[in-house]
């Protein structure tokens, strides 16, 4: 009991001292609109146990704590959130002391990752609205801001009204400071504050506006959309890692095709996916059809709850460039596989930095590409080795997309489709037919290795 008492005092005392020391300029306080979560359609079954525990433990320790941001937005739309964020008036060190497994991360914004088994809850402290301690770059982008404030200030600091909702799952109460519930019902994406100023603070908000509008089927409010084209170049000032994370979210949104088209329409792709001009304006309609099919296929898989691979997606986006270089080199007399390897190296060298693709995905892309000519070899041993490859399923799906868009022989894709569904006897017959067909069409036979001549007897 005495230990618990001392822990409670230790948690509360630093809070009063450090908030007083770090807070600079308070925003004008205003009361939020209050809604009952059940009346808005929030289903408690969609809330993760880890998020509920995080809120409970912080409230038990004497702090305010709410599920916040995109998780609340998704709950109100009847969507199960992929991850949960929690906002609190407890500072990072106090949050860390409240949980057995928690660690402080971040430099730009200090956050706490609270871990419950495989699930991680990101906990942030309410941010102040203005501060002399905020560090900006020459373009106005926030580099560091760890000044803590009140909840209404934190709500004003958030990007869109639909992301500035706070939900207390214990009392089943939604707090709305900026009419986010109204905008959610109207399917409207509206920036909090002056959009131009907010984009300058963090240019990634422009990407996020496009991504969320495409994902949710929302309209971007006029004043929020208007500055984007003029300010698109600010994307070049964003670190590659943040851009790549945002692009992955867009590609995994379930509306990647529309998202990328909208990204290009707003001119934002120059900062993160400049190759979209090459892809969507390609002179070969089959290349455009291939990318369109790949993106729509990925969207379908996500809606069906199936896994998707970032390596596969980037392999699809870059394939038209690789294929073009491959054909050029092969036409000029290079052998098939060396020509493909050289084409891959050339495209990766020129595109990797521009796309900020993490190198762990590059090996997946390379394997998917290099397996494409191997589908042509339909001898029993070659087929068995190919099917044992860890990327076989991804490469096979890639082959099907190539066939559907007219980039390779549909008969080849049909043969593999039949082979995968056949039993052992039927597979043997399919391989025999493929080899017979290859021989008739003038395919080269494997040369036997000549035995070395016997040594001449000595005289």
> What confidence tens digit (pLDDT) does each residue in 349-374 have?
887 766 667 778 899 999 999 999 99
Extract long-range pairs of 399-408: CB within 8 Å, 24+ residues apart: 399/372, 399/375, 401/290, 401/293, 401/294, 401/297, 401/316, 402/290, 402/372, 404/293, 405/286, 405/287, 405/289, 405/290, 405/293, 406/286, 406/289, 407/286, 407/287, 407/290, 407/323, 408/372
Of 125, 104, 54, 40, give the one whose Cα is nearest residue 83.
54
Side-chain-side CA neighbours of 335 within 13 Å: the count stands at 2
Neighbours of 325 (CB within 10 A): 19
Residues carrying an active site annotation: 83, 85, 159
Average pLDDT, stretch 310-331? 92
Three-state SS for 435?
helix
Three-state DSSP class for residue 374: helix
pLDDT at position 6: 42
User: What distances in angstroms separate CA 118 from CA 44, 64, 252, 308, one per listed residue?
Assistant: 20, 25, 21, 20
Question: pLDDT tens for residues 59-82?
Answer: 999 999 999 999 999 999 999 998
Quick: pLDDT tens for 217-269. 999 999 999 999 999 989 888 888 788 888 888 888 889 888 888 888 888 88
Q: What is the overall mean pLDDT for the chain?
A: 85
For 144, the token pair is 């560091």
Q: What are phi and psi of 265, to 5 degrees?
A: -60, -35
Structure tokens at 255: 């509306």
Length in residues, the chain: 459
Cα 232 to chain centroid distance, Å, stands at 20
**Structure-model confidence comparison of residues 314 and 27, the more confident one:** 314
Q: Would you place residue 28 in the very low, low, confident or very high pLDDT band (cuts 50, 70, 90)?
A: low
Q: What is the pTM of this model?
A: 0.76
40 pLDDT band, cuts 50/70/90, is very high
| Residue 296, pLDDT score | 92
Q: Which CATH architecture has domain 1-186?
A: 2-Layer Sandwich (3.30)
Question: Cα(297)–Cα(295) distance, rounded to whole angstroms?
Answer: 5
Burial 47-62 (b: 16+ CB within 10 A, else e): bbebbbebbebbbebe
Domain ranges of the chain: 1-186, 194-273, 279-440
85-105: per-residue pLDDT in tens?
Answer: 999 999 999 999 999 999 999
The domain 194-273 is placed in CATH, from the list 1.10.1660, 1.10.110, 1.25.40, 1.10.150, at: 1.10.110
Under DSSP, the state recorded for 376 is G
Q: Please tell me the predicted confidence (pLDDT) of residue 65.
A: 97
Residue found under tokens 């691979």: 309
In this structure, are strands 188-189 and 219-220 parallel, antiparallel, or unpaired? parallel
Return the pLDDT at 449: 52
The encoded tokens of residue 372 equal 């494409």
Q: What is the mean pLDDT of residues 381-391?
A: 95
Cα–Cα distance list, 23 to 14, 90, 147, 168, 201 (Å): 14, 14, 6, 25, 20
Residues 443 and 378: their CA atoms lie apart, in Å, by: 12
Q: Which long-range contacts (CB under 8 A, 24 or more apart) does 435-443 make?
A: 435/378, 435/379, 438/378
- pLDDT score, position 36: 97
CATH T-level assignment (fold) for domain 279-440:
cca-adding enzyme, domain 2 (1.10.3090)
Residue 257 near residue 295, CB atoms below 8 Å: yes
Rounded to 10°, the helix 256-265/204-216 angle is 140
Is residue 76 helix, strand or coil? helix
Helix (H) or strand (E) holding 367: helix 359-370
Has residue 309 got a pLDDT over 80? yes
Q: Work out the pLDDT band at 418, boundaries 50, 70, 90.
A: very high
Cβ-defined contacts of 357-364 (< 8 Å, 24+): 357/244, 357/314, 358/244, 361/310, 361/311, 361/314, 362/311, 363/311, 364/309, 364/310, 364/311, 364/312, 364/315, 364/391, 364/394
Query: Per-residue pLDDT for 323 more than 80?
Result: yes
Smallest CA-to-CA distance from 243 within 211, 196, 204, 198 is with 204
What would the pLDDT profile of 393-409 be if each residue is shown by its tens digit? 999 999 999 999 999 99
- Lowest mean per-residue pLDDT among 3-7, 79-83, 158-162, 358-362: 3-7
Strands (E) located in 135-273: 135-136, 142-144, 165-168, 173-176, 188-189, 219-220
pLDDT value of residue 407: 92
């Amino acid at each position: 009991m005495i230990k618990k008492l001392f822990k409670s005092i230790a948690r509360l005392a630093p809070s009063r001292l450090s908030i007083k020391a770090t807070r600079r300029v308070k925003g004008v306080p205003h009361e939020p609109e209050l809604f009952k979560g059940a009346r808005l359609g929030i289903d408690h079954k969609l809330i993760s146990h880890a998020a509920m525990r995080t809120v409970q433990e912080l409230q038990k320790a004497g702090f305010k704590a709410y599920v916040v941001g995109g998780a609340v937005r998704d709950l109100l739309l009847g969507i199960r959130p992929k991850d949960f964020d929690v906002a609190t008036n407890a500072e990072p060190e106090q949050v860390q002391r409240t949980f057995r497994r928690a660690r402080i991360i971040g430099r730009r914004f200090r956050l706490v990752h609270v871990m419950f088994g495989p699930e991680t809850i990101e906990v942030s402290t309410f941010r102040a609205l203005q501060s002399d301690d905020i560090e900006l770059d020459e373009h106005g982008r926030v580099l560091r801001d760890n000044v803590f404030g009140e909840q209404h200030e934190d709500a004003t600091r958030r990007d869109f009204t639909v992301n500035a909702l706070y939900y207390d799952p214990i009392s089943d109460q939604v707090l709305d400071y900026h009419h986010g519930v109204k905008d959610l019902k109207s399917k409207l994406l509206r920036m909090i504050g002056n959009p131009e100023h907010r984009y300058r603070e963090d240019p990634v908000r422009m990407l996020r506006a496009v991504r969320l509008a495409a994902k949710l089927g929302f309209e971007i409010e006029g004043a929020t959309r208007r500055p984007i084209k003029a300010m698109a170049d600010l994307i070049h000032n964003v670190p590659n890692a943040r851009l790549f994370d945002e692009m992955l979210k867009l590609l995994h949104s379930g509306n990647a095709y529309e998202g990328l088209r909208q990204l290009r329409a707003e001119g934002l792709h120059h900062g993160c996916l400049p190759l979209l001009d090459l892809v969507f304006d390609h002179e070969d309609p089959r290349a455009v059809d291939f990318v369109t099919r790949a993106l729509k296929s990925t969207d379908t898989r996500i809606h069906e709850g199936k896994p998707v691979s970032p390596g596969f997606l980037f392999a699809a986006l870059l394939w038209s460039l690789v294929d073009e270089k491959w054909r050029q080199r092969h036409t000029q007399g290079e052998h098939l596989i060396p020509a493909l390897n050289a084409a891959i190296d050339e495209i990766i060298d020129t595109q990797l930095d521009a796309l900020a693709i993490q190198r762990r995905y590059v090996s997946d892309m390379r394997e998917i590409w290099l397996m494409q000519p191997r589908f042509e070899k339909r001898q029993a041993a070659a087929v068995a080795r190919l099917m044992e490859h860890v990327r076989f399923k991804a490469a096979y799906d890639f082959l099907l997309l190539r066939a559907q868009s007219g980039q390779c022989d549909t008969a080849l894709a049909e043969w593999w489709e039949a082979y995968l569904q056949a039993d052992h006897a039927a597979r043997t017959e399919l391989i025999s037919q493929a080899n017979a067909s290859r021989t008739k069409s003038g395919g080269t036979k494997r040369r036997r290795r000549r035995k070395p001549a016997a040594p001449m007897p000595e005289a």
